[in-house]
Structure 1
Amino acid sequence: MQGGEDDVSYVNNSDRQALAITLSKPILISSLQTIKLFSTNSPIRITDLGCAAGSNTFTTVDTVVETLRRRYTAVYGGGSLPEIEAFFSDLPSNDFNLLFKLLTEKRRVDSPAKYFAGGVPGSFYDRLFPRGTIHVAVSLSALHWLSQYMQSDHDLENFLKCRKEEIVNGGVLFVLMGGRPSGSCSQFGDQGTRAKHPFTITMEQAWQDLLDEGLIDEETRDGFNIPAYMRSPEEVAAGIDRISGFKIEKMEYMKVVEHSDEKKEEWKKDPVSYGRARTNVVQAAIRPMVEAYLGPDLSDKLFKRYENRVSTNREFLHKTCFYGIVVFSAIRI
């Protein structure tokens, strides 16, 4: 993800992820209502895996903390609440400086702090914590990103094996990831989704523009792959069955509409602003990968072509664009 706080940063282009979190919040709260209540003498440990940086980073952890505090208060009374530790984990390239800057600002408002916080750099496809130390693990809009292109099953199994070691018996694993509906035979099997979403087609056209202008060759165009895979609920359930150690409490496929009708009407009057906003969202997600592949100059040109394409194609503003997510909660058994 693109760090910093400028127009193309993740922190300023994560509204879609925020909506997905809001839609899935009832599943998270329901899973926490059934979690085993652990001793109040030891800290409760929460981790956000693939935390990025921004308001979304804290929203779900706050939900977990508040839900657990209510449960413990109801059972033990207000004087026996356990201390809570929250570990924010992401790749070392994540903007941890921004994350803790925002956390410090948040704590000035929330004082006294509701939990102790720490950062854990590393890949969630590896072990990050000692065995049996995590009570609640959440991962939001991250698990569809692969460690390497076409490693979907391998990566899912590694993720689950690591969490199986780290999460205590009775603990909760909650995951929200990009996904596709049940019954679709492959990532691109749902042609309706592909046709309705502007990213796929328009980005392909932008790459072709660079090729047509002689700025890149076919090998360069064809050699770039985004290491992401949108799993179906069946694929996720099969992975959990293969690893064992978890009982699925709830799993759903949901559609997240990208823009409100009001926003679309606003952009119809100013398609240039739509093109710029759409491009900022795309850059926030994939600019670091593109820049590592093409370099900064060609990356600027690619995203400019993309912006021009989106700005001049009014068809997208007359479609209901959405993307799919798979959400599940599971109990460690």
Structure 2
Amino acid sequence: MDCSSLDSNCDPSISICRANDKCTKSLNYQSSCTGDLRGTLCMQGGDGDGSYARNCEAPASAIALSKPSLLKAISCMNLFRGEASLRIADLGCGTGFNSLSTIDLVVESIKKRYARESISVPEFEAFFSDLPLNDFNTLFRSLPHLCPRGNDEKPRKLSYYAAGVPGSFYERLFPRGKLHVAISLSALHWMSRIPEAVLDKNSHAWNQGRAWIDGARNEVVEAYAKQSEEDLKAFLRCRAEEMVSGGLLFILMAGRSDSEHPENQLGDPDTKAKHPFTNVMDQAWNDLVKENLIDEETRDAFNIPAYMRSREEIRRAFNHSKAFEIKSLKFRKVMEHSKEKQKKWIKDPISYGKTKANLVRATLRPIIDAHLRSSHLSQEFFKRFEKRAAEDINLLQKTCYYGIFVVSAIRK
């Protein structure tokens, strides 16, 4: 992968680690030359072991937990009389079943409301939107009317017209006043960019020795918090322009409990120890440094672009927008996997290591590939991550929880 394929602002003089090269500490390596992530951030495509489509159990659990709130929001939303079609957008759709099943649920629930109230049912348009590198091909191959599941299965007619919309949901994606329902599922904790101060090794916000901000210095956390605030404001500003009055905005996003300060993104000690963004992640990066595969600056320049907002931070952004009325704002905790799987993995740590590494591949491989500029080095990183996750028996005994916020709001 050459530099120009990552970002047009990259310095072409940057050294690149080829697949058969061994990068040493003498390498004066710079990470991606800008914090902008639109050209690198996406879930891992395809349907292989490391794909997002095969490693989205936690988001699926969160969506299942939020389903009653979504149904309640639909039951209370305005019905749009006289509309030829209703337009629904899934913002940050990814590649898997989660998006398709949720759109099905939304469409069928709205149709039932129209039927119950004896109103002519409109047609439906569903827009699946994500960053340009998202694997839309895998997503659309999953549509049942295009790809029946079995040889004897007849194509099922969709109850909506589907389209893909590439772009960042921190920018405008649709014409003014066109969307009736906008949903975003497990996507808004991903930031639009890494703060510039965090990428400056001469800054107090240089995140030395860490891949993420949980437990980081105040300057690092403050830079992330400021960027996260700007991002959520931009998201709401764009949706305010795109949505019709009375339209429903439904958001499921990762978050932290009210009692936790920003530097404590994850809450309880077991979650902090076992979360894929923390200990094992840092250990894997350090292994590459100790083995002279990368230098310390390369390690320190990698930062996971995620921030878990608090209830107050969410409310503050909505209050700034003034375009939406929050109907519901709830915090929930989701277990990373079932107790049955945990018991199985305690007996088979190697299998757990592979599963955990695949989870990280599914969510972070594209930006790790872009950061290292070498598929070989990326593979070496995941080998070490897998080994570290498998060899810590105490880690297997712990239970990790993901905090989520479920928000429903109406466009004023």
**C-alpha contact (below 8 Å) 1:198/1:321 kept by paired residues:** no
Q: Is 2:240 aligned against 1:161?
A: no
**What secondary structure, in the 3-state scheme, does the structure 2 residue paired with 1:47 have?**
strand
Aligned equivalent of 2:64? 22
Q: Is 2:365 aligned against 1:287?
A: yes
Aligned equivalent of 1:73? 115
* Aligned mates of 2:387, 2:267 — CA distance in 1: 25
* TM-superposed deviation, 1:253: 1.3
Structure 1 pair 313–199 and aligned structure 2 pair: CA distance change class (3 A): farther
* TM-superposed deviation, 1:46: 0.3
Equivalence map 1:1-333=2 (5 Å)? 1-76=43-118, 80-103=120-143, 104-105=146-147, 111-149=156-194, 150=224, 151-188=227-264, 190-192=266-268, 193-294=271-372, 295-333=374-412
**C-alpha contact (below 8 Å) 2:266/2:403 kept by paired residues:** no
* TM-superposed deviation, 1:183: 2.6
**What secondary structure, in the 3-state scheme, does the structure 1 residue paired with 2:147 have?**
helix
* TM-superposed deviation, 1:197: 2.7
Identity over the aligned pairs, expressed in percent?
Answer: 52
* Aligned mates of 1:94, 1:40 — CA distance in 2: 35
Structure with higher helix content:
1
Aligned equivalent of 2:21? none
**C-alpha contact (below 8 Å) 2:256/2:267 kept by paired residues:** no
* TM-superposed deviation, 1:111: 2.4
* TM-superposed deviation, 1:189: 5.4
**C-alpha contact (below 8 Å) 1:148/1:227 kept by paired residues:** yes
**What secondary structure, in the 3-state scheme, does the structure 2 residue paired with 1:76 have?**
coil
* TM-superposed deviation, 1:311: 0.7
When the two structures are superposed, what TM-score results if normalisation uses the length of structure 1?
Answer: 0.96
* TM-superposed deviation, 1:112: 2.6
* Count of paired positions: 331
* TM-superposed deviation, 1:138: 0.3
Structure 1 pair 277–284 and aligned structure 2 pair: CA distance change class (3 A): same
After superposition, give the CA deviation of every residue in 1:121-170 in whole Å (9 maximum; x if it has no partner).
11101111111110100001111111112321111111000000111111
* TM-superposed deviation, 1:316: 2.0
**C-alpha contact (below 8 Å) 1:187/1:229 kept by paired residues:** no
Structure 1 pair 241–44 and aligned structure 2 pair: CA distance change class (3 A): same
* Aligned mates of 1:54, 1:67 — CA distance in 2: 21
* Amino acid in structure 2 at the alignment position of 1:17: P
When the two structures are superposed, what TM-score results if normalisation uses the length of structure 2?
Answer: 0.78
**What secondary structure, in the 3-state scheme, does the structure 1 residue paired with 2:332 have?**
strand
**C-alpha contact (below 8 Å) 2:273/2:395 kept by paired residues:** no
Computing the radius of gyration from Cα coordinates, the structure with the larger value is 2
* TM-superposed deviation, 1:191: 4.8
* Aligned mates of 2:155, 2:407 — CA distance in 1: 29
* Aligned mates of 1:133, 1:329 — CA distance in 2: 19
CA-atom RMSD, angstroms? Answer: 1.5
* TM-superposed deviation, 1:40: 4.1
Structure 2 residues not aligned, in runs of 5+: 1-42, 195-223
Structure 1 pair 137–109 and aligned structure 2 pair: CA distance change class (3 A): farther
**C-alpha contact (below 8 Å) 1:2/1:8 kept by paired residues:** yes
After superposition, give the CA deviation of every residue in 1:198-227 in whole Å (9 maximum; x if it has no partner).
541110011111111111111111110111
* TM-superposed deviation, 1:187: 4.2
Structure 1 residues not aligned, in runs of 5+: none
* Aligned mates of 1:189, 1:283 — CA distance in 2: 21
**What secondary structure, in the 3-state scheme, does the structure 1 residue paired with 2:282 have?**
helix
Structure 1 pair 191–20 and aligned structure 2 pair: CA distance change class (3 A): closer
